[in-house]
Amino acid sequence: MFSIKGQSKTLKKAGENLKTKRRGLVEGKKIVLRVSRKSSKAKKEYDSYGSSSSSKDSSSKDSSSSKGSSSHKDSSSGHSSESKESHSSKDSPLKPCSPNEDSSSANEKPSNSKSSDTVSTSEASLLVTEDSSNSEASSSDNEESSTISESCASVCSGFGWTNYNGNCYKVVEGLMNQTQALSACTAEDPQAQLVSIWDEAENRLIGQIITRPLARSLQTYNLASPIFNTFWIGLRRVLVGNRYQSTWTNGSAAIFGNVPEITTAASRNTSPWAAGQPSGTNKYTDPTGAKEECVHMLNAEGRWNDARCEIQMTGAICKKSAQSVGSSGTVGSTNAVVFPSSAFDLCNPSVSQCNGFGWTISSGKCYKVIEGLMNGTQAVSACTAEDPQAQLVSIWDEAENRLIAQIITRPFARSLQTYNLASPIFNTFWIGLRRVLVGNRYQSTWTNGSAAIFGNVPEITTAASRNSSPWAAGQPSGTNKYTDPTGAKEECVHMLNAEGRWNDARCEIQMTGAICQKTIQF
């Protein structure tokens, strides 16, 4: 949804063709724009957005001029209601829509399709309808709202997936060989497999998606070589006779990145492979000349390397098809005032609004779990490293707490598999609550300085009296003097499990991750 200042005025029906230089809509996608404006300036802004010749700068200018509107139009009833913030669901995160409605398997070669640079009349229509006067909005700032509602063909179920061109992508982090990487993807979703890559554009996207996980891998794992701080993809390359057969893990023959010949190192320098790859064997460093039949992505530039399948890398890149939801049903809500510069932004709010990959949107906020061993201070840094605007999560009610508990379900399971710690209590994730004893009462604040309301327990209590949600039984204790003779203070807080229970702990203890939060990007 985006808003444009102005009073009510009927505009003529926009042109039937909507062209875009960025990734566009495909057949079956429909945008309905309901507009009310007064000034010629507003009409000019609208024409600039809708025109096939509009530039990216013009779209950006429109977005800036649109900022500040606070009314929301209910397209089903025709009435407008004042909205301080965006309308959204508290209990369920937004499932972003895909700009591609192809329902074919994620790991099959995509069929030929028309260029996404042009959107035909059968692919999208832009409708402008007369808007009734908004008396409430007119009485305050004399503004009315314009609403984009879209019908999307597919969404990604689950948390942390990036939706692109009808496919969903996710990096699963942790030490694993290629066989374990396959299992990690299906554990994430039974329909998911190790990623198959069909062209340079998709390869570049995946290179972007692994940027932050790659940096975390280098920080978390001190391996023999940085070449192992990388991520498995789904390509298998097997020597049959004097030629290599390259297939994806679902059995599809590889086209992009296929190198069937037995080549010399000097002749190997073709994208997407790293220089000197694929070698097919590591006989240059291993006297046994063990076969290198599996493939991993080395870096954020998307370069590939072949390796022995039993080697442990630091993660897997998974892919699945986005779920079809029909061609006419409106999917979800943007949960925010958005100033899109293209149709791609509208159909990928988790990317455009959260400004990054792997974030879950709900109620105007973006959430993400950062995995890896870290203490409370390092957890704060992990969030700001992910995004300068991000902080350890603050939680304001039971609904938000349940959502976050859902988000950590898979990371929690991976933590138990990856880290053999002294107690499962450490296989958990930091949140942003600090609880400090001042006099004879505890002051609870979030890392952004806000006073805590939900989960606030100011009293010094006995273990028997502590059994109140969201805290785990017997928590918060404020100290671990029962197990530590020094009675060290427990001023930081972590979420213990997928039920969303909290525990206080010493800030210097290493847990297995952090839950980060930021507001959506306008």
- Are 261 and 141 in the same domain? no
Question: In this predicted structure, which of 1-5, 59-63, 457-461 has the lowest mean pLDDT?
Answer: 1-5
Mean pLDDT of 321-344: 43
**Looking at the domain assignment, is residue 174 inside a domain?**
yes
Task: Read off the tokens for 27.
Answer: 């057949």
Give pLDDT tens digits for 422-461: 888 898 999 999 999 998 899 999 998 999 999 999 988 7
Q: Examine the domain organization and report whether 374 and 235 are in the same domain.
A: no
Q: Is residue 131 located within the same domain as residue 216?
A: no
Is there a single domain that holds both residue 515 and residue 409? yes
pLDDT score, position 265: 64
Segment 213-222 shows an average pLDDT of: 85
Segment 508-515 shows an average pLDDT of: 95
DSSP codes joined into one string, 367-417: EEEEEEEE-HHHHHHHHHHH-TT-EE----SHHHHHHHHHHTHHHHHHHHH
- pLDDT exceeds cutoff 70 at 23: no
Same domain (yes/no): 345, 407: no
Residue 144: count of CB within 10 angstroms of its CB: 29
Same domain (yes/no): 196, 80: no
The backbone torsions φ and ψ at residue 297, rounded to the nearest 5 degrees and listed phi first, read: -95, 125
Does the pLDDT value for residue 113 go beyond 70?
Answer: no
- Report if residue 6 sits inside a domain: no
Indicate whether 81 belongs to any domain. yes
The strand order across the sheet containing 30-34 reads 126-127, 30-34, 147-151
**CA angle 186–191–193, rounded 5-degree value:** 55
User: Which of 266, 297, 320 delimits the end of a domain?
Assistant: 320
Mean pLDDT of the region 333-343: 34
User: pLDDT tens digits, residue range 62-102?
Assistant: 444 444 433 333 333 334 333 333 333 333 333 333 333 34
Closest residue by Cα to residue 368 from 198, 234, 202, 520: 520
**Domain co-membership, 377 together with 517:** yes
Question: Is the same domain home to 381 and 474?
Answer: yes
Position 8 in a domain = no
- 147 found inside a domain: yes
Range of the domain at 185: 167-320
Same-domain pairing of 45 and 68 = yes
Count how many domains the chain has: 3
> What's the mean pLDDT in 477-495?
75
Of the pLDDT bands very low, low, confident and very high (cuts 50, 70, 90), residue 513 is very high
* Cα Rg, the chain, nearest whole Å: 26
Three-state DSSP at 98 gives: coil
Does residue 1 form part of some domain?
no
In this structure, the answer to whether residues 130 and 72 fall within a common structural domain is yes
Residues 344 and 372 in one domain: no
- What is the distance between the alpha carbons of residues 235 and 316, in angstroms, rounded to a whole number? 12
Domain end: 320, 342, 372, which one?
320
Rounded-to-integer distance, Cα 156 and Cα 52, Å: 30
Instruction: Indicate if the pLDDT at residue 348 is higher than 80.
Output: no
Is residue 358 in some structural domain? no
One domain, residues 118 and 185: no
Residue at 326 is within a domain = no
* Predicted TM-score (pTM) of this structure: 0.48
| Single-letter amino acid, residue 503 | N
Question: Which residues lie closer than 8 Å to 496 by C-beta, 6 or more apart?
Answer: 425, 428, 472, 502, 503
